[in-house]
Amino acid sequence: MGEAPTFTAPSFGPVHTRHVRHHTCTNPARCSCRPDPCHARRTLDHCPHGRLIACFARHEPGDDEIGQPLCPDCYDHDHHVVWNNSAGELWRRTKQAVTRRLNQLARSRGLAKVRVSHGKVAEFQARGSIHFHALLRLDGVDPDDPAAVIPPPAGITAADLDDAVQHAAAHITCTTDPHPARPGGWPIAWGDQVDVRIISVGGESVSDAMVAGYLAKYATKGTEVTGHTSRRLHDANVRLYADPAGTHTERLVWAAWALGEHPGFESLRRWAHMLGFGGHFLTKARHYSVTFAALRAARVLYRRTQPQGPEHSDERFQRQGDLDAETTTVLARLSYVGSGWKTTGDALLANTAADQARRRHQAGREDLVHEFHLADFSERAA
């Protein structure tokens, strides 16, 4: 039993967005649907800096304005980078709250304890904030073997897991330590957009390959989506990427660098090139799958036991070929569904388009023949 929740950051100020209310495209990653106006307003209000807090444009995919604040001076860049820096702690508390709520429910129903295991990836949004794509798996707990992975009690359902996630996302918050720029500390909480989906593939269990594919889809993105690319910053090069009056990302880098000067917030300066986020792009629970330590140990053992020297090269290639043959993973299954058009309307549109194409080709050939005869007539007349 599992779920795939997505946790997003709260708003730190209005930014240009591309929102499609209802997708009609087959591939949202290459969406060509008509979006809603960015920030339509009935009244044309202005912010204290004199900028219009409205945008009636329908931004296309890849528009450079997407993710940029409507007013950079009103946008809370300090809170933004601090939230990125504290997102890991917020996640830790959220997962604890999910497990605690499920175990309270299990006790009230007279059931055994449960455990929530997770794998998640961190992804940067265009505005420069982190959001998490997670996979949550609900397991039972064997009192005789805590490391064993067993199914959860039958009395706990996917709806219970969904309720626990929604409750934790709405109620779990924390506050950072005081800072001269914010004596009361910054509140750290999730945004309103928390998407939770039940994992189900035709009633079958989800394979490891499906999980890896889901996580890999989001694990290939870094700060490039925000327009910022740099390695770790220091005093000699920070001015190349940070500017308190510059672009959106330059202001975020500057906020992280400036706030990180205060004791207790040094990690902001350390991770200024990541807009304050210092976590790993991929994390998982110890019980979710094989640990990274075990994988490193297996690689070390393999390298140390591998025959050395040119006389063993053929043996090494043969061993690698056997290993590849044994570990081939089927990523998906293909089956024949049918052929032809789904509806009569689709068939009518396709046949109409084909007929129009044939007529255009015919008209083009007739024009060429007409021009040829005109040229031939002109030559004879001359």
Q: DSSP letter at 351?
A: H
Q: What is the largest CA-CA distance in the chain?
A: 106
Q: Look at residue 46 in the predicted model and tell me its pLDDT.
A: 92
Amino acid (one-letter) located at 309: G
Nearest to 196 by CA among 152, 173, 156, 165: 165
CA dist., res. 302 & res. 355, Å (int): 63
Q: Look at residue 328 in the predicted model and tell me its pLDDT.
A: 47
Q: Look at residue 190 in the predicted model and tell me its pLDDT.
A: 95
Please list the alpha-helical segments (H only) found in the chain.
77-108, 158-171, 208-218, 248-259, 266-270, 292-305, 313-326, 344-381
Instruction: Please provide residue 220's backbone torsions phi and psi, each rounded to the nearest 5 degrees.
Output: -100, 5
* Cα–Cα separations (whole angstroms), residue 35 to 21, 57, 113: 7, 9, 46
Nearest to 136 by CA among 197, 189, 84: 197
Nearest to 135 by CA among 86, 198, 201: 198
Question: For the chain, which ranges sit under pLDDT 70?
Answer: 1, 28-29, 199-228, 308-337, 376-382
pLDDT per residue as tens digits for the range 133-143: 888 888 898 88
* Cα–Cα separations (whole angstroms), residue 340 to 151, 335, 343, 350: 43, 16, 9, 11
Domain ranges of the chain: 2-11+72-284, 17-66
Q: Look at residue 321 in the predicted model and tell me its pLDDT.
A: 53
- Check: pTM over 0.85? Answer yes or no: no
